[in-house]
Amino acid sequence: MSIDPLDEWDFPLPESAIARVPPVERDGGRLLVVDDPLRDLRVVDLPSLLRPGDLLVVNDVRVRRARLRAQRQTGGAVEVLVLRADGDEGEALVRPARKLRVGERLRAGSGEIEVRERFDEGRVRVRFTPSLESIEAEVGEMPLPPYLGRPADAEDTRRYQTVYNQAGPLRAAAAPTAGLHLSERLLTELDALGVERVSVTLEVGLGTFRPLTAEQLAAGELHPERYTVPPETWAALERARVEGRRVVAVGTTVVRTLESATGPGAGETRILLREGWKPKRVGALLTNFHLPRSSLLLLVAAFGGRERVLSAYAHAVATGYRFFSYGDACFFPAPDGSRS
């Protein structure tokens, strides 16, 4: 009987621990500091964990209205999740995918989505007519994760975006969820403390939210995701390195971007971070609680060590923390092995 290498990254999680809606206040969640000992704080206590001169790096990607409800000519319903797009062509996940043919045109509101090419895992290349923008505006929905068990509503349009999102060429199919905790008032407080803030943009897609496979684990690579590092962000990172200042990543997408980039500009990352990783730039991490058996759980274990992280997660479950995209947060003051 073969052993699944992902079994050691599983943990029990009751359905009641999954946050179905965001906290009333954006910065109203709890914050678990994963250190010795564990500390139970609130997100509003984040300034007490940072210090003047820290460089806070956020992912300013805007979440697109990526979930499109479409219809086949036979009348069958199709869900199209836009993963990445260049103009009016892009890549999408479709459900159901098995019966769709290359050349088939799906009706989406008053527009059309043409299937141009089929890939594996339900992915297809598509073309939008008259435009992706017009179809999103007419029938697009915020792409809430399926585990929330509900359709997106008007409040999600605001709360499933960071307050600092930017309308750039890269758009996301999922939110960089650690950033959802940062309110305008909390950012103002961090500014006053002397924490410098810069941004990167990573197009959150399959590499972040698709379940990890044993094959990916063996290969050490995820699905590709595009990113951009502005010149001013790279300059700030270089100053922080020279001056010995700590770089604090807001979210796993920022970690993957910073650990992949070799300079300013655009790039693509497939990086799968896990125990044994030695960070080049990131010195602390603010993140959410992640799915069992996921690449994101492996990444945070690179910060805290597998046993420490799973112990912290068990504590979080036992003490009523809320998990996943709209859930609470945790803070890793330093990568594993770097604690003084």
> Looking at residue 318, what is its pLDDT?
98
282-299 pLDDT per residue, tens: 999 999 999 999 999 999
72 in the same domain as 15: no
294 in the same domain as 308: yes
Is residue 297 helix, strand or coil?
Answer: helix
Last-in-domain residue among 107, 141, 175:
141
- Transcribe 60-128 into DSSP letters: -PEEP--EEEEE-TTS-EEEEEEEEEETTEEEEEEES-TT--TT-EEEETTEEEEEEEE-STTEEEEEE
166 in the same domain as 226: yes
Residue 326 vs residues 1, 82, 104, 288, 322: alpha-carbon distances, Å: 38, 21, 36, 9, 8
* 23 assigned to some structural domain: yes
Is residue 193 helix, strand or coil?
Answer: helix
Mean pLDDT of the chain: 94
pLDDT (mean) for 152-174: 96
> Looking at residue 210, what is its pLDDT?
75
121 in the same domain as 235: no
β-strand pairing of 105-108 with 111-118: antiparallel
Distance separating the N- and C-terminal Cα atoms of the chain: 43
pLDDT tier, 231 (very low <50, low <70, confident <90, very high otherwise): very high
* 320 assigned to some structural domain: yes
281 in the same domain as 207: yes
252 in the same domain as 104: no
Could you give the number of structural domains in the chain?
2
Q: Which domain holds residue 244?
A: 11-63+158-332
72 in the same domain as 59: no
CA 150 remoteness from chain centre: 19
What's 330's DSSP letter?
Answer: E
* 304 assigned to some structural domain: yes
Dihedral sign (CA 53, 203, 31, 279): negative
Q: What is the pTM of this model?
A: 0.95
* 179 assigned to some structural domain: yes
Phi-psi region of 265 (alpha: psi -120 to 50; beta: other; left: phi over 0): left
199 in the same domain as 129: no
CATH of the domain at 221: 3.40.1780.10
pLDDT tier, 340 (very low <50, low <70, confident <90, very high otherwise): very low
262 in the same domain as 132: no
pLDDT tier, 338 (very low <50, low <70, confident <90, very high otherwise): low
List, in order, residues 6 or more apart from 3 with CB less than 8 Å away. Answer: none
125 in the same domain as 53: no
21-48 pLDDT per residue, tens: 999 999 999 999 999 999 999 999 999 9
Q: Is the pLDDT of residue 11 over 90?
A: yes
pLDDT (mean) for 216-224: 90
d(CA 135, CA 111): 6
